Amino acid sequence: MKIKQNFLPVLLLIACCYSWSTKAQTTLNKTGNRWELLVDNNPFQIKGVTFGCDNDVKNYDKYFNDLLFLGVNTIRIWGTNDNTQQLLDAAQSYGVKVMMGIWMRHGRPGMEDDDSFNYLKDTIGMEDMYKHALETVEKFHKHPAVLTWAVGNEVYLNIATEAEKEAYSKLLERICSNIKKIDANHPVTSVEGWTFGLDWWQKWVPSIDIYGINSYGAGANYIAGEIEKRGIDKPYIVTEFGVTGEWDIKAKKMD
């Protein structure tokens, strides 16, 4: 039921500028109850880290050399910016694949972006996110370093009401289904904290090919059980993991 592949929450990565004329295809294969990720028909096991140093372009070479030393073959980014083309070119030059993040706004302040967005009322903002997502795919889908698309990061975790989550889910399905029309060569994923997205994805977002799950502490050991308990027949990738986060540590009462 799963692709056993994990992303360490290490903020490292890449660089250089090249022009690439070829593209790589990422596909999924299922044999029995086992899912397998393929790149150009060859099995590909993700050995990944998250990447938060995209603005430090001058040190891309240093970061990539460090990553190769660690055995990394994939990086994950949460969104794109003016340096994304250089990032992809550098990744390709070092033989590293990129899980391409497409940022979706959070429904209330919190986490790293400290944003607040109303998925029930802000139709203009939702249309902006939709257009940005498809423009990103149009721009980068032929680059050979692209592994998958990852739409959103922990959005359900940061939305307060059921009605807002439903509205976000419908937008997410619209985006994911249209990405597939543009790019048939790369699976579509979405990323959520722990299991907060599973029921919503299963009901509202059938166009997601792979579930992305961020899990810290011992949680990664229980993901497979949560997937099976819900009868979900889709693979997943552990898109962030590490030691127990400070948000999970109970504060001790001072005497």
Strands 6-8 and 47-50: parallel
CA dihedral sign of residues 125, 190, 132, 204: negative
Map residue 57 onto helix, strand or coil.
helix
The answer to whether residues 8 and 215 touch, using CB atoms and an 8 Å cutoff, is no
Estimate to the nearest angstrom the gap between the alpha carbon of 82 and the chain centroid: 19
From CA 87, how far away is CA 145, in angstroms rounded? 9
- Give pLDDT, residue 217: 84
- Cβ of 177: how many Cβ atoms within 10 Å? 14
Distances from the Cα of 201 to the Cα of 161, 189, 208, 238, angstroms? 16, 10, 8, 16
The pLDDT confidence band at residue 37, using thresholds 50, 70 and 90, is: very high
Q: What are phi and psi of 149, to 5 degrees?
A: -100, 140
Q: Has residue 19 got a pLDDT over 50?
A: no
Hey, what are 231's tokens? 């009868």
Token pair 């790149």 in the structure block, residue:
39
Tell me: the pLDDT tens digits for 125-175?
Answer: 999 999 999 999 999 999 999 999 999 999 999 999 999 999 999 999 999
Q: What are phi and psi of 239, to 5 degrees?
A: -85, -15
From CA 251, how far away is CA 125, in angstroms rounded? 38
- Cβ of 44: how many Cβ atoms within 10 Å? 19
Hey, what are 78's tokens? 């949460």
Taking every pair of Cα atoms in the chain, the longest distance, rounded to a whole number of angstroms, is 66
Q: What one-letter code names the amino acid at 27?
A: T
167 or 246, which is more confident: 167
The pLDDT confidence band at residue 247, using thresholds 50, 70 and 90, is: low
The pLDDT confidence band at residue 220, using thresholds 50, 70 and 90, is: confident
Q: 182 - beta bridge partners?
A: none
Report the chain's terminal Cα–Cα distance, integer Å.
Answer: 48
Helix (H) or strand (E) holding 98: strand 97-102
- Give pLDDT, residue 249: 64
Quote the DSSP letter at residue 247.
G
Helix (H) or strand (E) holding 48: strand 47-50
Hey, what are 112's tokens? 């790293």
From CA 217, how far away is CA 245, in angstroms rounded? 7
220 or 88, which is more confident: 88
